[in-house]
């Protein structure tokens, strides 16, 4: 744990999210074993892991969607195993499509705003910033991946969450959408938001303030540079193994 980075050092700052000894078992398989970390206000906390490492499982637990086996998760001081109150402070962007398929984009914004008890007035600025005006009447099932993700983000931000949980926020979609999403995220952080962002492509590591590396159910926290080093080391050892195999 020598490379482990601490967050902002001031002792006065309380963590926004505190995960301690989190365990998740699915059948006999241990998906998360003893995961602990803290996220402080204003951070852009990355969770890196390759496919199947448990990123989605972790994000869904943090969002209060899935049960977990043991451990504790606190968001803004609320124990998420005991209360639902924290949900008014969180927003979730899922990896799989999870908007209401039989509604249009506009109807989705409207409906999810109602679900989140957020005012309608939050909708127009988000629509404008994420350039969704032209799509409001399109059924979400017909939206392209990039636009869909912009809409997902808009829906997640409707209640101006203190903590945004984003699962694979950016994947291989068009560059305009990518730009719009990154801008919106920057704006959100500027306005005082905090973000936990899971990703599986190293290119985003540089955008994070810290990165939790999820592997074999364990999470280790690194600085962005340290993550790059670890990644390069892994690549080298993989190449070595492959060379030995071919020799």
Which residues does 46 contact at the CB level (< 8 Å), separation at least 6? 196, 197, 198, 199, 204, 205, 207, 208, 210, 211, 212, 224
In angstroms, what CA-CA distances link 104 with 13, 110, 155? Answer: 42, 10, 13
Whose Cβ is closer to other proteins: residue 44's or residue 116's?
116
Residue 61 has which token pair?
Answer: 């637990």
Q: To the nearest whole angstrom, how small is the minimum distance from the Cβ of residue 247 to other proteins?
A: 37
> Quick one: how far is CA 48 from the chain centroid?
10
Residue with smaller CB distance to other proteins, 94 or 177: 94
The answer to whether 183 and 174 have CB atoms below 8 angstroms apart is: no
Q: Which two tokens mark 213?
A: 């590396």
The minimum distance between CB 172 and other proteins, in angstroms, equals: 20
Q: Which is nearer to other proteins, 71 or 91 (CB)?
A: 91
Pairing state of beta strands 210-215 and 44-48?
parallel
CB of 148 to other proteins, least distance (A): 13
User: What is the nearest approach in angstroms of other proteins to the Cβ of residue 34?
Assistant: 17
- Element (H or E) spanning 214, and its range? strand 210-215
Give the N- to C-terminal CA distance of the chain in Å, as an integer.
Answer: 35
In the bound complex, what is the minimum distance in angstroms from residue 75's beta carbon to other proteins? Answer: 12
Closer residue to other proteins (CB): 74 or 205: 74
CB of 155 to other proteins, least distance (A): 8
Query: Length of the chain, please?
Result: 247
Measured from the CB atom, is 6 or 117 closer to other proteins? 117
> To which residue do tokens 């209640």 refer?
159
Q: Are 33 and 23 in contact (CB under 8 A)?
A: yes
Closer residue to other proteins, CB minimum distance, 19 or 221? 19
Joined tokens for residue 229: 């080093």
- Please report, as ranges, the residues that interact with other proteins according to CB under 8 A: 24-29, 31, 57, 60, 63-69, 84-85, 87-88, 90-92, 94, 96-103, 110-112, 114-117, 155, 159
Q: How many CB atoms lie within 10 A of CB 45?
A: 23
Helix or strand or coil: residue 220? strand
9 or 29: CB nearest other proteins: 29
Rounded least distance, CB 115 to other proteins, Å: 4
């Amino acid at each position: 744990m020598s490379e482990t980075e601490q967050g902002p050092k001031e002792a006065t700052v309380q963590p926004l999210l505190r995960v301690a000894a989190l365990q998740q078992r699915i059948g006999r398989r241990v998906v998360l074993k003893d995961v602990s970390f803290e996220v402080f206000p204003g951070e852009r906390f990355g969770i890196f892991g390759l496919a199947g490492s448990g990123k989605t499982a972790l994000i869904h637990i943090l969002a209060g969607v899935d049960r977990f086996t043991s451990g504790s998760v606190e968001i803004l001081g609320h124990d998420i195993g005991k209360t639902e109150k924290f949900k008014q402070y969180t927003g979730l962007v899922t990896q799989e499509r999870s908007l209401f398929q039989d509604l249009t984009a506009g109807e989705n914004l409207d409906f999810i705003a109602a679900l989140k008890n957020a005012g309608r007035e939050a909708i127009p600025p988000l629509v404008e910033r994420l350039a969704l005006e032209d799509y409001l009447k399109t059924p979400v099932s017909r939206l392209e991946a990039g636009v869909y993700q912009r809409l997902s983000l808009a829906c997640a931000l409707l209640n101006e969450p203190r903590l945004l949980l984003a699962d694979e926020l950016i994947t291989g979609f068009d560059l305009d959408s990518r730009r719009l999403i990154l801008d919106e995220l920057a704006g959100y952080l500027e306005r005082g938001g905090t973000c936990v962002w899971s990703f599986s492509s190293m290119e985003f590591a540089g955008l994070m303030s810290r990165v939790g590396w999820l592997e074999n159910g364990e999470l280790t926290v690194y600085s962005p540079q340290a993550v790059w080093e670890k990644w390069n080391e892994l690549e080298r050892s993989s190449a070595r193994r492959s060379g030995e195999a071919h020799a």
